[in-house]
Amino acid sequence: MKANQLNVNKRSCGDVQQVQAPAAAAAAAAAGSSSDGAAVPPVGLACLPVLRVPLGCAEEVPSALAAIRFAYTGEVAAGSSVREALELYRQGQYLQVKGCGESCLAAITSKLTALGSSSGGGRGSSGGGNSGVGGRSSAQSCPAALQLYECLRLWPDLALEAAFTPVLLEARKRLVAHFGDALAALNTPELRQQLLALPAEGLEALLESDDFGTDVEDSVLLLLATWVEENSSRADAEVVERLCRLVRLAQLSPDFAGAVLPLLACARSARPKRQSGAGGPGWFPITGTEAVFFISYCATTVSSAAKRLRLHETAQAVHDLQAPWFSTKPRRQCLMGSAVSFAAALGPSARRHTFEWSIHQEKLEEQLRGLQPGGEVHICGSRDSGLDTVCTAGFEWRPSIVYKHGAAVAGVFLCCDLPAAYHLGESSLGGPVTQVMSPGSLPCAPSST
């Protein structure tokens, strides 16, 4: 078993601890010691067996004691965390404690399916600054699925211990339910922080799922870019490429594909072949010819179904059309209804994510004091949640107002920014990038009131 192998390997370091069974250990402590310092077993207990458990390090003591306790009680201690259950599972498998493995997996599954353990902000909480996200209980804000993915090194080898597979499948489902969709994960401060802390296996679970919602696939690419930028130091190039190939490029919106894919391909071609690290300019593994194909393919969604079919037939000789890049199976849609005031509807319950923003009065007064006749001021708003922008349609959007001296009203605008996470700077492209999107290009364009 994987658990046995791991523990045997650790024991080669030579550090061995001996742990007595609880009853014998307590009795020995009460009996005192002989004149030469050796423990003297109390009368009547000398013939009882003593269980000695070799350990690899001091950190294994709690799980070893828990395994011995389980041998006496047949129960996983109430209130055990996911980590503690995994550690007990590994020790129980090593010690071959009958029923311990099954009980540990049952305890983990119970935590995964417990009411509230997967209730995240994705489907039922607002992304605004005064939303219910911040008021969730600690069990909700750190569900069992997140705890399980924090303990990757404790996972058993699925090839050797198939009983863990149903637990992992349940965890993947709960993880997707917790984050809900790309817009929630990017625009809700708590969820965004949890997203960036996910290991690659956790992000992989989101990208592979049809139930992980989005407005358009463009936002899924932005979510991946944001994660890669944060985790490039601990995710190697092979892992990042595997994640990149889970984005469904065939479902990108035509405007986004035509604007961004050529830039990503250009940056990739300019990337030094031996560049260390997985992030930075050229992080997305796409060639110029692949970019051209997807631009043409995505454009057919609004032009000609016959042309789309011809492209599909031609591509069969060159590409693996079963790969996720070419998938036409849609993800769950998280936008519903018509345009609303800086809001996007999420999930089947039609609840809306409202992203509130404001401009501090002091900032407004300062700008207006310096305004001269004939001039105008541009003032960017700030999101009440603390995040700088709203992420949707694969781009970042900032609310702003423009006021001309003497005007009766001010104009309210949305400014579109190319996210820095794409790493499409002048150094990798040979020049600055001009405007590539406008609010009217949004799948559900926000209105400003």
pLDDT of residue 214: 95
Structure tokens at 336: 């519903």
pLDDT of residue 57: 83
- The pLDDT tens digits along the chain (449 residues) read 333 333 334 433 334 344 444 444 443 443 444 445 555 556 566 677 877 778 888 888 898 889 889 988 999 999 899 999 999 999 999 889 999 999 999 999 999 998 655 554 555 443 444 333 333 433 455 689 999 999 999 999 999 999 999 999 999 999 999 999 999 999 999 999 999 999 999 999 999 999 999 999 999 999 999 999 999 988 899 999 999 999 999 999 999 999 999 999 999 998 887 776 678 889 999 999 999 999 999 998 766 778 888 888 888 878 888 899 999 999 999 874 333 333 333 333 334 567 888 888 888 888 888 888 888 888 888 888 888 899 999 999 988 889 898 888 888 888 888 999 999 987 777 777 766 666 565 554 444 43
* 403 domain residue, yes or no: yes
Report phi then psi at 354, rounded to 5.
-110, 120
Percent of the chain as helix, strand, coil, to the nearest 5: 50, 10, 40
d(CA 218, CA 224): 10
Q: Which amino acid is at 128?
A: G
* 359 domain residue, yes or no: yes
Sign of CA dihedral 7, 11, 13, 18: positive
* 412 domain residue, yes or no: yes
* 327 domain residue, yes or no: no
The range of the structural domain enclosing residue 381 comes to 355-441
* 225 domain residue, yes or no: no
* 35 domain residue, yes or no: no
pLDDT of residue 5: 38
Residue 262 and residue 402 in contact, taking contact as beta carbons nearer than 8 Å: no
Q: What is the pTM for the complete model shown?
A: 0.79
Q: Which amino acid is at 174?
A: R
* 436 domain residue, yes or no: yes
CA atoms within 13 A on the CB side of 38: 3
* 276 domain residue, yes or no: no
Total structural domains in the chain?
1
pLDDT of residue 439: 59
Residue among 75, 26, 95, 19 nearest 51 (CA): 19
